[in-house]
Each structure stands twice: as C-alpha cells, then as structure tokens.
Amino acid sequence: MAPGSAGFHNDDMQNTQVVIIGAGPSGLLLSLLLQRNGIDSIVLEQRTRAYVEARIRAGLLEQQTVDLLDEAGAGERMNRERLVHDGFEMAWGERTLRIDLEGLAGKRVSVYGQTEIQHDLAEARHRSGGDVRYQATDVSLHDLESGRPRVRFVHGGTAQEIQCDFVAGCDGFHGVSRKSIPASILRTYERIYPFGWLGLLADVPPLAEELVYVNHSDGFALCSMRSRTRSRYYLQCSLEDNVAHWPDERFWEMLHSRLPAVHQAHLKTGPSIEKSIAPLRSFVSEPMRHGRLFLAGDAAHIVPPTGAKGLNLAAADVRVLYRGLVEYYRNQHRTTLLDEYSQRALSRVWKATRFSWWFTTLMHRFGDDPFGRQMQNAELDYISGSRAAAQAIAENYAGLDFDV
C-alpha cells in the first residue's frame, strides 16, 4: 500500500481544477484570482482561520501588490485605510538621508498590515462562496508528474482525496509542498544571519510620516507603523535573547538611544500590544515547479524583512502562476507561461534576495568587526552623495516590474 493511502477509496474522490495548499495571503489571493477567471479551486489549510488571521507580519506593499489585490476584488478596505509613502529615511550616527521613491523611481509604497490583508482576502473568499477547508491535516501529494495529481488529507475526522489538474503549494517554509519535490531535483540556497529582530506593536503615533531605518553601533532599529495611531518598532537582538528579558521600559530606552537626536524627541511610548523575536534568513529553493506542482511564496523562498519583500514576492509569484493557469484553461491547454513559471519567478526572487541581503548587510551590526563597520560607513556616505546609488535603492525598494 502506498504511503498515505490508508482509509482512502475511489468512492471518496472529489474533483477540482486546482488544489491550493495553504490559506495564507498567497493561497487566498490565488484562489480569488482564479475564481474571477472561471477556474475552480479548493484551498486546504492546516490551521484555523482565527489562527492564520492573528499572525503578525509585515505591512509594506509595492504598488504592483496593491494592484493585484484590487484585481482580486479584495482591495476596498485597503484603499480606504492604507498609508501611501513617497519615500523612507536611512539614519546612521547623526546623519539622515531620505530616499525619494517617487522622485527617483516614479513609484510609491503603501503601509497596510498583513493581518488586515489576510482578513480582507478571507472575507472576499467567503463572500464568493469559495471552498476553503481549515484544519485540514495529514496532507499528502501524489502523482504530481501525471496529468491528474491527487491530494489526500483528513478534514472533520474524515480521510478525503481530491483529484485535480494542478497543485499550488502556498503552505510556507514548513509545509508539505516543497518536501514533495524529490531531493534529487531540489536545490536550496540559504544564509542564516547571526541576529534576530525584536518587534513591538503599540497603539502610539508613529515616530515619523515615513519609515526610518537606523544603523547604530548598538545594532539596527526600524521605526514603522500600521496606521496613524499604531506603530511597529524593531530592534536588532541576539538569537539567544528572550522576550521576557525585554520589558517595555527597556525596549523604549534602547530604541530611544539608537535614534539620531533629530528623532528622539518625537518618540511616543506606551504599553505593548504584542512583542516577539524573529530570526533572519535568506532562503531560495529551485525549481519552483515539479510536474503539476507549483510553489509560491514562503514555500519556495524567504528573505530577511529589511527590504520588505516577503509578501510582495509571494504576490509576484501568484501573478505569474495565475496568468499561466488562465492561459492553460482559455487556450486549449497551452502551457507556455506554466512552463516558464519557475524561470520567471526565480528571476525576480533572486533580485529581491540580493537587495534584501545587501540592505541587511548595510544596516545591521555584525559583531565586533571594525573593517565591516568602516565599509558600512563608506557605503552610506557614498549613497548620500550619489543619485545613481540612491536611485538603485529606490527602484529595488519600491519593487521591480513584474515579468509578466
């Protein structure tokens, strides 16, 4: 008996065109875009809807991601509540430099929390009558190299099986999708950073109108926001650190000390709503396709949050994938875009991974490394006097154009 086959019978077989593993932003966004183009899908999610929506994640959106959420019919509240930014600030010592995104790259970015995006996508999918099965466990993928893959899982205490044309793996770094690609085929590339980010969420006005990235001798800091009354702050910390060692008072004191004097007086403090520590890594797996399985988002790649690329890369994957699926179903099973999916997606992934790695290396403290510190200072000094260097930052930060 094949692995995962116990309890399954032909009478249990269900059918759909696309099975999507994972009901995070990429999975729900893909399901909505497919539905709007007449393509059926079933979404399987291991966790509850409440659990998925409660996860605290990034909140900086490229305009192309905003456009894609609009295209999916999930952008109404976002367009009312998002904060549109024309630039951001970099600070080191007592020096500051504003990167003018609109002036240098002709683009803007939006601040709108991923928690809100997740809620909006789930509501849109629910209103549309879409089939999303939360708490689907023991998921396994079968016959991926055939014309009709099968997905097995347990839902509501019952073993079930779905036959489909394609499987979209949107189930994150720890999900089953990437693990279903044979080890002989899969190649992975990884860089683990020797520090983490301690994040604090508080209902206090933001430090500034735009994000402020700080390079300080004690470590990196980021002053961000979720709205005009809710702020998100980060401090570079040790991977061995613990949230319990960081009462609010200590966090605010350390953040204040890392800010240039021009910003210190504007820092508003208050009780934290949420506090957590996240490790930083760069990770890319290739290829992003195996047979009828396509990986998207964190299932295929992870970037450190410094460049705000995680959610935006997932959206870029979804855009290429859904257009390939639309081409397949509208044009007599033509597979041009599907065959090019991995190459097109990875081209953007590697460019975003490079920028995120570069920005992380530039702004963080890497132990006691006097040479590295001088290189950071020289790079920041160069950027402050070079329009070309600042323009390259603006183009990458605001988002490179989609390939398709």
- Mean pLDDT per 10-residue run, the chain (404 residues)? 46 89 98 98 97 85 98 98 98 97 98 95 96 98 97 97 98 98 97 97 98 97 96 97 97 98 98 96 98 98 96 97 98 97 97 98 96 97 98 97 72
Known catalytic residue: 305? yes
Of 142, 290, 301, 309, the catalytic one is 309
Residues 10-80+114-189+281-368, CATH architecture: 3-Layer(bba) Sandwich (3.50)
Question: Using CA atoms, how far apart are residues 102 and 230, in angstroms rounded to an integer?
Answer: 25
Residue labelled with tokens 């930014």: 85
pLDDT value of position 11: 53
pLDDT value of position 207: 98
Helix (H, G, I), strand (E, B) or coil at 298: helix
Known catalytic residue: 179? no
Entry field: residues in the chain: 404
Helix (H, G, I), strand (E, B) or coil at 274: strand
Which amino acid is it at 384?
S
- Output the CA–CA distances (angstroms, integers) from residue 160 to 32, 148, 292, 322, in the order listed: 23, 16, 20, 26
DSSP H or E segment with residue 109: strand 109-111
Task: Let me know how many helices (H) and strands (E) the chain has, helices first.
Answer: 14, 21
Helix (H, G, I), strand (E, B) or coil at 3: coil
- Output the CA–CA distances (angstroms, integers) from residue 398 to 88, 105, 114, 126, in the order listed: 10, 7, 17, 31
pLDDT value of position 1: 30
Of 25, 85, 206, 301, the catalytic one is 85
| Domain boundaries defined on the chain | 10-80+114-189+281-368
Known catalytic residue: 107? no
Residue 304 is encoded by which pair of tokens?
Answer: 């450190």
- Residue 218 CB neighbours (<10 A): 12
Residue 238 φ/ψ, nearest 5 degrees: -75, 150
pLDDT value of position 46: 97
Under 8 Å between Cβ of 363 and 306: yes
Question: Using CA atoms, how far apart are residues 32 and 121, in angstroms rounded to an integer?
Answer: 8
Under 8 Å between Cβ of 31 and 125: yes
Burial of 278 (0-12, 13-18, 19+ CB in 10 A): middle
Residue 276 is encoded by which pair of tokens?
Answer: 């957590």
Known catalytic residue: 213? yes
Of 112, 193, 213, 328, the catalytic one is 213
pLDDT value of position 404: 62
Of 305, 322, 328, 341, the catalytic one is 305
Question: Using CA atoms, how far apart are residues 59 and 208, in angstroms rounded to an integer?
Answer: 16
